[in-house]
Amino acid sequence: MQHIHPSILAAAALAPAFAVPVLAQPLRPHSPDPFDVVIANGRVVDGTGSSWYAADVGIRGGRIAAIGRLDGATAHRRVDARGLVVAPGFIDMLGQSELSILVDPRLPSKIFQGITTEITGEGGSVAPLDDVLAEKDRVYFESLGITADWRTLDEYFARLERQASTSPPSWAPPRCAGWSSATTTARRTRHSSKR
C-alpha cells in the first residue's frame, strides 16, 4: 500500500476524482470489476457539512464508485490515508493561474493543495486582450514561453480545451473559470482613449 507524506492531503493525490461533491454522485453497487484506486482508512469529509467519518473510497473510471469498508475489494492501486482527510476538491475563488496553466497545465501548486477548481480574473484577467496590450506584455509572455494567441475569454478557454485534449490521460488539470476584470478593462480604456 502506498503511503502519502502527512503534509499532503490524501485528496491531493487524486484530486480530480473528487471534483464533484461525494453525495452528488449516485454510488453504483459493488461491481466485480476492480477499482482503479482505493483510498483506504481515511477520514472522509464529504462537503455536506456533516462531521467526518472513517471510510474507504473506491474510484473507477475517474469517478467515485463506492464509499464504505472496502477491505476485500480489489484495486489496481491502494493509497493508505490513515490519519489524513479525504475530501472533495477545493475551489480557489481568487486564483491567478490563468498564465501558469499555459506553462504547466498540471498546475501542481494547486493540485497538491487539493484545489480542483479555480476562478480567475480577480485583479487582472487574460482577456479581453488587444494587440496593444499584447505588445505591452510581450516580454512577460515571452519569459513564460507563451504566445498570446487569444483576444477574448472564449478564445482563451478554447486554447485551454485544445491543450487539455492533447494532455496525457493520466492526469486532469483543475477546472478553470474566469471573468474580465476591472483592471484589464481600465488598461484597455486608457490606451484606446489615447488613439
Residues 36 and 95 in one domain: no
Query: What's the distance, CA 91 to chain centroid?
Result: 8
Last residue of a domain, one of 62, 86, 110: 86
Are 55 and 123 within one domain?
no
Q: Coil, strand, or helix at residue 4?
A: coil
C-alpha 154/C-alpha 59 separation (Å) is: 33
Query: pTM higher than 0.95, yes or no?
Result: no
Quote the CA–CA distance of 60 and 80 in Å, as a whole number: 17
In this structure, are residues 147 and 89 in contact, taking their beta carbons and an 8 Å threshold? no
Helix, strand, coil % (nearest 5) of the chain?
30, 25, 45
What span, in angstroms and rounded, lies between the C-alpha atoms of 124 and 49? 33
Q: Are residues 66 and 100 in the same domain?
A: no
Distance CA(102)–CA(178), nearest Å, equals 14
Q: Where are the beta strands (DSSP E) in the chain?
A: 2-3, 35-44, 53-60, 63-68, 75-80, 85-86, 90-95, 115-120, 175-178
Q: What is the mean pLDDT of each run of 10 residues along the chain (195 residues)?
A: 37 40 44 91 92 95 92 95 91 88 87 86 85 94 95 91 69 60 57 54
Residue 66 is which amino acid?
A
- pLDDT of the residue at 2: 42
Select from 86, 113, 130 the last residue of a domain: 86
Structural domain of 24: 2-86
**Residue 158 and residue 69 share a domain:** no
Q: What is the pLDDT of residues 25-75, one digit of tens each?
A: 445 555 678 999 999 999 999 888 899 999 999 999 888 999 999 998 999
**Spatial separation of the C-alpha atoms in residues 72 and 64, rounded to whole Å:** 17
CB of 10 closer than 8 Å to CB of 42: yes
Q: Do 69 and 99 sit in the same domain of this protein?
A: no
